[in-house]
Amino acid sequence: MIENREGNRVPEVTFHTRRGHEWVDVTSDEVFGGKTVVVFSLPGAFTPTCSSTHVPRYNQMVSTFSEHGVDDIICISVNDAFVMDEWQREQKADNITFLPDGNGEFSRGMGMLVAKNDLGFGKRSWRYSMLVKDGVIKKMFIEPDVPGDPFEVSDADTMLDYIAPEAAKPLDVTVFSRAGCPFCVRAKGMLHDAGIRFEELVLNRDYTEATLRAVSGPSTVPQVFINGECIGGSEAVEAYLRKAEAA
């Protein structure tokens, strides 16, 4: 049965984790004691919504949560330690703690263990997020109890809006570049100096000129996109940053 446990302590369980080639048991007290922690729990590693949206956005916003008093962000799923470790590597999410709830003990204690027999999953966690302070659950965002796998309220943005409503969210930035391009180096350097994280796509490795023309029009590089807007090359980036600094 899905239940809201705000005001209660998290379940006392032992998580069986792997560090390198060794088993390491970690207790709930070690995970939550004396810390402010954001937890998001989901039905399964490598599943579509979990891999494409849930984990990536929390991963992107780790530093923003840290700036507002969150000590750790934890992803929990009813999967074994080997699967969770491999999923963490695949997601490049080293700044998030992935905890395997292989036996479903934590999820059961949270009242979140549900049957996913129709998908061949057996017992899995319902999707939810929560803010935990020194082991006490302060806030929960639980997905609505409807068929399927709803994903409406347990996302990173909803949690950040609760913790710090006025917080500036990280920009979505992509740089289309080319190896050996000095203007690309300059644009990336300015973004780096401004503390703006970005993803880089390199010509003839990640895309072709046809792709660049399709998305931006010009085929010159760099082409920098910020929050869905094509800013342009290095001079345009410089003007954008100057304007942002003056605002």
Catalytic residues: 50
Using CB atoms within 10 Å of the CB of residue 16, give its burial: 0 to 12 exposed, 13 to 18 middle, 19+ buried: middle
Strand intervals (E) in 47-198: 72-77, 97-100, 113-115, 123-125, 128-133, 136-142, 173-177
* The pair of three-digit structure tokens given for residue 246, joined into one six-digit string: 């003056």
Distance CA 145, CA 150 (A): 8
Torsion-angle region of 193 (φ positive above 0: left; ψ -120 to 50: alpha; else: beta) = alpha
Continuous segment of H or E residues that includes residue 18: strand 14-19
Cβ 95 vs Cβ 64: under 8 Å: no
Torsion-angle region of 68 (φ positive above 0: left; ψ -120 to 50: alpha; else: beta) = alpha
